[in-house]
Chains A and B, each alone.
Chain A
Amino acid sequence: MNLMYSCRRVAELLSQRLDEPLGIFDEMRLKLHLSMCGNCSHVADQIGAVHAASVDLLSNGFEHDEPLPPVPPR
């Protein structure tokens, strides 16, 4: 068994972890990988930042003032 996940797999787990708890082995291997991989640590921070900013943005509504794109006549 390969003890290390690929960075690609780590990114998938980082997203999955926002929606459901990971199994204990996935969680351990994820943490091990993050402790040794700068790229994935940055991606972890960034996925977390995008998630937090999205939730914030969506609960408060979109507020910038660009006009709406045209809608077809009804």
Chain B
Amino acid sequence: MAHTHGLHSSHGDPPALGPLPLAGPGDATVTASLEAQLPALRVRLIRHARYALHDDGLAEDLVQDTLMAVVEQHGKRRGESSLPTWATAILKNKVADWYRSPTRQRMVYFGTDDEHGDDAIDALYSPDGAYVEPVPAWQQPDNRTEQRQIMTVLERCVSCLPRQTGRVFMMREWLGFETSEICERLGVSAENCRTILHRARMSLRDCMQRDWIGKRASV
């Protein structure tokens, strides 16, 4: 799929991590330590961008723009959040801008997901809409290790969402778009958008139940 979305194109360029401009006099140490963190940061950001865009080339381009901004603005930033959190916020703005860009509509195929994958949710209910099996309560995580494990499982669950479902979920929960704006940007009806979000959340709940709660209980 070709991308000509009007941002700095990185096609043919070496991957963003060559010699970087210094942030300014006296910042050489800071810049050197930033440079050392960029490869790992890039991997994190690409992962994130892919879930929101489901388009590898576009994700790489927006991450490239983000890393440029990170390098340029690093010297001016106040140290309130960690580097990844700060960089993720920059990426978020770039992805939101892309979704709001008037030129992007024709760049990416916005199809609907097939119905495959909804079976797991349908199977929870009897024909009259009651739960077939009793729903077990979830326990609070005991400690920070468990908390981190939950996040790892949740990320894997997010990565398994189908393309359009994943986009809508990320637009809502990460970019913070109102549902009316998601409908407008993706050309889906309000009812459809509601259904997609509901199915995304139920899929994640189901996935967490299976991969976290279920495994935890069996240990």
Interface residues, chain A, with chain B CB atoms under 8 Å away = 6-9, 11-12, 15-16, 18-20, 38-40, 42-43, 45-47, 49-51, 53-64, 67-68, 71-72, 74
Give CA–CA (A35, B158) in the complex, Å: 31
By a CB distance below 8 angstroms, the chain A residues around B137 are 42, 45
Nearest 10 pairs between A and B by C-beta? Answer: A6-B129, A8-B129, A61-B88, A58-B174, A15-B198, A39-B135, A61-B84, A42-B135, A39-B131, A54-B173
Q: Which residues of B contact A45 (CB under 8 A)?
A: 137-138
CB distance from A2 to the nearest CB of B (A): 11
A63 to B13, CA, bound (A): 26
A33 → chain B closest CB, angstroms: 11
Asked if B136 CB lies within 8 Å of chain A CBs, one says yes
B173 closest partner in A (C-beta) = A54
Instruction: Please list the residues of chain B having a beta carbon within 8 angstroms of any beta carbon in chain A.
Output: 11, 43-48, 56-57, 60, 82, 84-85, 87-89, 125, 128-131, 134-138, 150-152, 154-155, 158, 169-170, 172-174, 178-179, 194-195, 197-198, 201-202, 204-205, 208-209
Q: Which of these, B48, B154, B194, contacts A54 with CB under 8 Å?
A: B154
**Which residue of B45, B152, B158, B201 contacts A61 across the interface (Cβ within 8 Å)?**
B45
> Do B202 and A11 touch across chains, with their CB atoms under 8 A apart?
yes
A-B contact sample (9 more), CB < 8 A, given A19-B172, A43-B135, A54-B173: A7-B129, A9-B129, A16-B194, A16-B198, A50-B201, A54-B169, A61-B44, A62-B47, A64-B151
Report how far A8 CA is from B85 CA in the complex, Å: 37
Shortest Cβ distance from A16 into B: residue? B194
Q: Is the interface of B mostly helix, strand, loop or mixed?
A: helix
Which residue of chain B has the shortest Cβ distance to A20 in the bound complex?
Answer: B179
Contact B173 A51, beta carbon cutoff 8 Å: yes
CB proximity of B50 to chain A, nearest CB, Å: 9
Cβ–Cβ < 8 Å partners of B158 in chain A: 54, 57
Q: Give the residue of A49, A64, A68 whose beta carbon is less than 8 angstroms from that of B138.
A: A49
Q: Are B57 and A74 in contact (CB under 8 A)?
A: yes
Taking A50-B154, A61-B48, A71-B56 as contacts, is the C-beta distance between A6 and B128 under 8 angstroms? yes
12 contacts between A and B (CB under 8 A): A7-B125, A15-B202, A45-B138, A57-B154, A57-B155, A58-B48, A58-B173, A59-B88, A61-B44, A61-B88, A62-B47, A63-B84
Contacts of A11 in B (CB 8 A): 198, 202
Q: Closest approach, in angstroms, between the C-beta of B73 and any C-beta of chain A?
A: 17
Query: Is the beta-carbon distance between B129 and A64 smaller than 8 angstroms?
Result: no
Let me know if A47 and B201 touch, CB within 8 A. yes
